[in-house]
Amino acid sequence: MNLPGSPFLQYRGEDLYLEDVRLADLATQHGTPLYVYSRNAMRAALAPYQQALEGRQHLICYAVKANSNLAVLQTFAQAGCGFDIVSAGELARVLAAGGQPGKVVFSGVGKTRDEMKLAMQAGVKCFNVESTAELEVLSDVASQNGLTARVSLRVNPDVDAGTHPYISTGLKGNKFGIAHELAVETYRRAAQLPGIEVVGIDCHIGSQITDVSPYLDALERVLDLVEAIESHGITLHHLDLGGGLGIRYTDETPPDARTLIGQLLARIDVRGHGHREVMFEPGRSLVGNAGVLLTEVMFLKPGEQKNFCVVDAAMNDLMRPALYEAYMGIVNTRQRRGETTTWDVVGPVCESGDWLGRDRDLNVQPGDVLAVLSAGAYGMTMASNYNSRGRAAELMVDGAQVHVIRARETVESLFAEERLI
């Protein structure tokens, strides 16, 4: 069976392994629901980016929102990565994991004054500014505190990335970025503001993109802007081309990072911009297929119209199926012989939207441990305590070694900060 995440996720005989660890054993030892990540799968996913950019002035900024566990951030910091953050909380995590503030870019449409000040004091590389209003406030915060904010403006190129509407970010109807037609005017304003240093230009068009052409279309529009902006005497030192490269959940065929970056760099060179630092902000493509969510089958509930396989993981543990109607592969960690039955795999939360997979052909029995595949990105970071459910534990495997990188939440911890009247 060809699983997403191979060669790190494979059946050996009848049992499913992540690297050199049998997943059913981890479920027995640590309980379920349980997130398990492969450290070597993350390193392997990063390698094509690094190889494609070798010899160029560049910075790969891991998008923290995809998976913000400290051990994950530590893995990428040790590999030389910078970080793309969207909150002061993510900045604190990066610093706690050993990340360098000078390699951090601060994105997001709603940065607060306190967040701006903290990030400037920490010495982040730049702010990706998303509106004229934000630019004015950033200047005010910088001036009041005797600081300087290095900025790139996130430009909305109005390019359709061909992805789910909720994760499309580069169209006119999206909340992100500064309209393409207002970019030159906004850069001229930025260059005049006190406390502001213009350093680059930023573009991000969406997530789970499986085609090179939207990136190339966006790049052409960005380079047109660079030339127009610099004609006004404003120097742009870097091009931040965002992230969003997709992964295989089922039958997608996203391009290899080397293919994508190679084509982008070739176009940059042809247009005469090869002297600039280039930056990328990958998230899902580095961690998505490095993780699985393990869950135990509690009950089988056959019905006239639907058969329900009730597991102990729920929408609070993994929100993507309920939020995006996302398909994520589901397999038994122990292959059973015999006929399969079509099941809806559902959780115990009191919502009809609490499902992990619909119409899945599985041979399962109560007590079996299922693995939800491609769960390394936007799994734990979107988890909640709905229905007063503690969030899952997280493990990192590295060869045959297993590290507990987040303990399971206890019920008592959920209301530890609450008070009776």
pLDDT under 70: residue ranges of the chain: 1, 160-176
Range of the domain at 240: 107-282
Describe the crossing of helices 183-192 and 213-230 by its angle, rounded to 10 degrees. 50
Is residue 282 part of an annotated ligand binding site?
A: yes
Q: Report the phi/psi class of residue 414: left, alpha or beta, with left for phi > 0 and alpha for psi in -120 to 50.
A: alpha
pLDDT at 39: 98
Describe the crossing of helices 39-52 and 257-270 by its angle, rounded to 10 degrees. 20
Q: What is the pTM of this model?
A: 0.94
Describe the crossing of helices 70-78 and 39-52 by its angle, rounded to 10 degrees. 40
Query: Are 225 and 153 members of one domain?
Result: yes
Is residue 336 part of an annotated ligand binding site?
A: no
The secondary structure element, H or E, covering residue 28 is helix 23-30
Q: Is residue 65 part of a domain?
A: no
Is residue 254 part of an annotated ligand binding site?
A: no
Query: Are 264 and 185 members of one domain?
Result: yes
Does the annotation count 350 as an active-site position? yes
Is residue 11 part of an annotated ligand binding site?
A: no
Q: Is residue 70 part of a domain?
A: no
pLDDT at 140: 98
Query: Are 249 and 360 members of one domain?
Result: no
Query: Are 221 and 368 members of one domain?
Result: no
pLDDT at 173: 54
pLDDT at 170: 42
pLDDT at 65: 97
Q: What is the Cα–Cα distance from 223 to 201, expressed in whole angstroms?
A: 10
Query: Are 134 and 22 members of one domain?
Result: no
Is residue 281 part of an annotated ligand binding site?
A: yes
State which of 263, 282, 301 marks the end of a domain.
Answer: 282
pLDDT at 171: 45
Q: What is the Cα–Cα distance from 270 to 397, expressed in whole angstroms?
A: 43
Q: Is residue 87 part of a domain?
A: no
Which of 61, 81, 309, 350 does the annotation list as catalytic?
350
Give 151-202 as a DSSP string.
EEEEEE------S-GGGB-SSTTSSSSEEGGGHHHHHHHHHHSTTEEEEEEE
pLDDT at 105: 98
The secondary structure element, H or E, covering residue 70 is helix 70-78
Query: Are 269 and 300 members of one domain?
Result: no
